[in-house]
Amino acid sequence: MLKRMLLIVMLTATVLAQSQHEMNAQAAADFAKADKDLNAVYKQLTARLQPLTKEKLITAQLLWIKLRDADAEARASEWEGGSMYPMIYESTRARVTRQRVAELREWLDELKER
């Protein structure tokens, strides 16, 4: 499973990124974009929530960030100390963050329909 994930990550890396350093940089840029999207949706969502719900989301989001990062560390740990570690770590964070963006957008869309 891990080898399959690695293959997917490598195949989805930008075609122009040829060296490991470039692939690592691309993975970091992908995460930065996903994180920016997350922060935008999160801000829109929290602005629409009642205080108690907002407080619970803030708590959940902080826990989710810890889980996301711990998951990325676990997935990348096989390459600890190697040149591929940053790519696996950042690619995992980007993928999981994009999933979280979709979840929060769905919640936001539900609120907009009310």
Query: Looking at the predicted structure, is the pLDDT value of residue 13 above 60?
Result: no
DSSP state for residue 15 in the 8-state scheme:
T
Residue 16: phi, psi to the nearest 5? -75, -20
The whole-number pLDDT of residue 34 equals 98
pTM: 0.83
52: helix, coil or strand? helix
Token pair listed for 96: 């999981």
With a cut of 90, say whether residue 47 has pLDDT above it. yes
User: Do 45 and 111 contact (CB within 8 A), yes or no?
Assistant: yes
Q: What does the alpha-carbon distance between residue 84 and residue 21 come to, in Å, rounded to a whole number?
A: 9
Calculate mean pLDDT across residues 40-63: 98
pLDDT at 6: 63
Pick from 40, 41, 34: nearest CA to 109: 41
* Amino acid present at 24: N
Distance CA 102, CA 2 (A): 24
pLDDT in tens, 67-84: 999 999 999 999 999 999
